[in-house]
Amino acid sequence: QVQLQESGPGLVKPSETLSLTCTVSGSSISTTTNHFWGWIRQPPGKGLEWIGTIYSAGTTYSNPSLKSRVTISVDTSKNLFSLNLTSVTAADTAIYYCARTSGGWLSPIDYWGQGTLVTVSS
């Protein structure tokens, strides 16, 4: 069974870097698999916003509204992937979800993590 689990600090200070990891079980993060690994967030009272996605081969895609602040990376040895979001403000307060897309470019998100709340506050 595929499971994803986010982890990281629940509180980040303004102007600092938000760092989260997503540990994957039941599915291999490998350069040979046809999977995409991504991050989505949901600010309080708002809808879902796609942050970015990394292809197993290492290519990344990011939301243009966040692009310059987002880094997504993969650690195949630990079967996890990570998100770094720099220069955070209160507007970055949200539930952050990690997710998998499987089956190629024209495929939906098929598994999600439970989500982790990150609050940006001094």
Report how many residues bind other proteins under the rule CB under 8 A.
27
Phi first, then psi: give them for residue 91, nearest 5 degrees.
-65, -15
Q: How far is CA 100 from CA 9, 42, 49, 82, 95, in A?
A: 22, 17, 15, 13, 17
Q: Say how far apart CA 58 and CA 49 lie, in whole Å.
A: 22
Phi first, then psi: give them for residue 113, nearest 5 degrees.
-80, 170
Pick one of 23, 63, 76, 86: the residue that binds other proteins (CB under 8 A): 63
Pick one of 16, 19, 79, 109: the residue that binds other proteins (CB under 8 A): 109
Candidate ranges 20-28, 71-79, 83-91, 97-105; the one touching other proteins (CB under 8 A)? 97-105
Number of helices and strands (H, E) in the chain? 0, 11
Q: Please report whether residue 110 would count as binding other proteins according to CB under 8 A.
A: yes
Pick one of 18, 113, 116, 120: the residue that binds other proteins (CB under 8 A): 113
Write out the residues near other proteins by the rule CB under 8 A.
4, 38, 40, 46-50, 52-53, 61-64, 97, 99, 101, 106-115
